[in-house]
Chain A
Amino acid sequence: MSRAVSEVVSPSSNEGEPASWARRLVGNQQFMLFVVFVAIFAFFTFNDSVFASVSEIGNNITDFSTLVLLAVGETFVIATGGIDLSVGGTSGFAGVVGAIAMEHLAPHGEWVVLGVGTLVCLGVGIGIGLINAVLMHYARLVPFVATLVTMGAAEGMSLVLTGGAPVGSNFGAITLTEPKISVFSYPDIIIILITVVAGLYLHYSKFGRYTFAIGSNSFAVRAVGVNVRRHLTWVYVLSGALAGLTGMFIYMRLGSGAPSAGVGTELVAIAAVVIGGARLTGGSAQLSGTVLGAMILTIVSSGLIIMNVSPNFNQVAVAILIALAATFQALRKGSRADV
């Protein structure tokens, strides 16, 4: 997964051949992902109608919220041709630090506790994002190694701080993750809003254009006078910040800060981005694809639970989805630049 140093910019051909609507739809990764999502959803519902029940949809949205922010941050990073392995560890570490802070704040009333806790989690995430940037720019580590280092450090520090056991027990926080508006809880809505804003930012702002451009050809971007280092710093800080917020969300779900909560989730987030059609070499990604990828991964794992299938199949199912998505991408004729 190491980053190709001299990635050649793919010629942005404007799909010269006259294609029928049907062919264009089939060639559209987002549309195909949506079809796959509907098919999987229908399959699970056919198997057990409980899957389409309001409360199961609520469960799925909670699971989706736990994953999607990590995947959104990862989309920005992967668009630049990088990788952020630290998001899982960061979310766990942020949740633990936040939980410790919130335990000390307990006498101050619930909203103060949760508000400060959110800021602490956000701060921890931003801090780790900055450390990633420093390791890359000053210690000259490639993103894979830099974020591998912070992943290990964050996971280790979570254990050191907690002595291995979960911290705190906050029933009030748990109740906040119950559905309030239809099947959505308040935190779910905030997370969905963040996702929408991030998507607009990636695809319609100058920041987003630079993000893709750096992934396509960072030398060219530097040549036209963009501060690539600073831009990458922001991208990793954003990824860290979103991981920090995920840590807060996990804290609210569990009512406690769990040192092992984020372990391994970076791989699920990366899977969502890859299924969503992003190129790991950078320059191409679709946030809508990432969201669909996260939706598919979410319903696959919860559907297998409802079906009472051995969860070991979950990993196999995810592997197959990634393989299909990647193959589909490779087979697409004349891959367009998504800038």
Chain B
Amino acid sequence: MKRDQVRSSSGRRTRFAGAKAVLSGALAVSSLALISVGSATAASASAKKITVAFVVGAEADPFFISMNAGAQAEATKLGVNLIWQGNPSQYSPSTQIPIVQQVISQLQSSKPSALVLGPTDPKALQPYVNQAIKAGIPTFNVDSSVANLKKVVSFVTGNNAQGGAAAADALATAMGYKAGKKYNVAVGMTSPTATTNVLRFQGFKAEVAKKYPGIKIVAEAYSQSSPTTANSNIQGWLTKYSQGSSTALNGIFAIDGTNAEGAASALQAAGLACSATSCGSGKVALVGYDAYNTNVALLQQGIFAALIAQDPAKEGMLSVLNAYNFLTHHKVKGIKHLITLPNVTLTPKSPAALLTKYTYQTA
């Protein structure tokens, strides 16, 4: 369930221009400078107070902002000191490693302490996890993991394969799937290497093969992390698989945030988007991923038939709780080594409270 360099949900971190390496170096320095400021609450530094440090990939992503909110709430409840670090926008080991190093030395001087890491690369971050454990700092993984999880106390993550399967179910429902009829579906992805994309797509295909033999996946394309490219791709499909032709497109699975945005606008421009009241024939059903607030607004209008949402707040909350329990009881007992949180299907009919709960937060 590990996340690739290209964190798919928005893919904002994808960078291919070599020139960017120069910048990421500069950004790493600037984030190091920020570390000393940190977000550690200075309140009541009693000797025995537990410190938990999170180091995530890209802090500014609403996914991680939500995780931070969940972690912070739990930390306040348990009286834990929370340190929250990550590069603002670059999801890459080259910017994450210096931050991890800094945080480890910080944690050594403030024991009892624990490290919760969302590694940006399973192999590149492995040595630093080993280093932390050797220094007597129990280490946890969240969202993504290092290659060797043996010494990691616990790994909390979302279930991408299950999310992909849930998307297939939601799309079938939205298209009014009936056995014996044929349906054409296209899938918009970020890149062929983003592991979240791959897992979601695998889950989607497996569910289609198992339950919906009438669904044919006629096209796939990559947005390369750009919503504009996603929009172009989908415009092309809507022309090629035009309504009224024998190969008319019935549904789209937008596997990440950029595709969700590009698909919604392309469908609206072509007048093929569903509305809150109807999604009959001649329309294209759209199922998206990730509950960014703009996506949730489009869900409420019915343009999205469903959104598959992860639960980053709960990932943050459970990670703090696990670290707290481990440090208070000094043993692994009762803490599961792998915790996979199911992704949730949101529809226009979901109660408002549920939508609010799962909508990713912004800073």
Interface residue ranges, A against B (CB under 8 Å): 48, 50, 53, 55-56, 59, 62-63, 66, 85, 148, 152, 155-156, 159-160, 162-169, 171, 174-175, 177-178, 250, 253-256, 258-261, 263-265, 267, 301-302, 305-306, 308, 310-312
- The answer on a CB contact under 8 Å between A311 and B222 is yes
Name the B residues within 8 Å of A59 (CB-CB): 232, 235-236, 239
Q: A160-B88, A165-B62 are known; give 7 further A-B pairs, CB within 8 A.
A: A160-B60, A164-B12, A174-B268, A254-B227, A256-B261, A264-B17, A301-B232
Interface size for chain B: under 10, 10 to 19, 20 to 34, or 35 or more residues?
35 or more
Which residue of the partner chain B has the closest CB to A177?
B269
- The answer on a CB contact under 8 Å between A166 and B12 is no
With A53-B239, A159-B89, A164-B61: A174-B258 Cβ-Cβ less than 8 Å: no
Interface residue ranges, B against A (CB under 8 Å): 10-12, 14-17, 19-20, 22-23, 26-27, 58, 60-62, 65, 88-89, 192, 218-219, 221-222, 224-229, 231-233, 235-240, 242, 257-258, 261-262, 264-265, 268-269, 292-294, 297-298, 360, 362-363
- The answer on a CB contact under 8 Å between B269 and A174 is yes
- The answer on a CB contact under 8 Å between B61 and A169 is no
- The answer on a CB contact under 8 Å between B61 and A260 is no
Cross-chain pair count, CB within 8 angstroms: 145
**Can you give 29 A-B contacts (C-beta < 8 A)?**
A48-B240, A56-B239, A63-B232, A152-B20, A152-B27, A155-B89, A156-B27, A156-B89, A163-B65, A163-B362, A163-B363, A164-B10, A165-B293, A166-B294, A168-B294, A169-B297, A169-B298, A174-B269, A175-B268, A253-B231, A256-B294, A258-B261, A259-B12, A261-B226, A263-B12, A265-B226, A305-B221, A305-B233, A306-B239
Name the A residues within 8 Å of B224 (CB-CB): 264, 311
With A159-B89, A260-B12: A255-B232 Cβ-Cβ less than 8 Å: no
- The answer on a CB contact under 8 Å between B226 and A312 is no
CA distance A259 to B16 in the complex (A): 17
- The answer on a CB contact under 8 Å between A148 and B23 is yes
With A160-B60, A178-B269, A250-B228: A50-B239 Cβ-Cβ less than 8 Å: yes
With A156-B89, A163-B60, A306-B240: A66-B228 Cβ-Cβ less than 8 Å: yes
Name the A residues within 8 Å of B17 (CB-CB): 264, 267
Name the B residues within 8 Å of A55 (CB-CB): 238-239, 242
With A163-B363, A254-B261, A256-B294: A302-B226 Cβ-Cβ less than 8 Å: no
Name the B residues within 8 Å of A164 (CB-CB): 10, 12, 58, 60-62, 65, 89, 362
- The answer on a CB contact under 8 Å between A306 and B89 is no
- The answer on a CB contact under 8 Å between B60 and A159 is yes
- The answer on a CB contact under 8 Å between A62 and B240 is no
Name the B residues within 8 Å of A263 (CB-CB): 12, 14-15, 225-226
CA distance A311 to B230 in the complex (A): 11
- The answer on a CB contact under 8 Å between B228 and A253 is yes
Name the B residues within 8 Å of A177 (CB-CB): 269
- The answer on a CB contact under 8 Å between B192 and A148 is no
In the assembled complex, the CB of A123 is this many whole angstroms from the nearest CB of chain B, namely 22
Name the A residues within 8 Å of B61 (CB-CB): 164
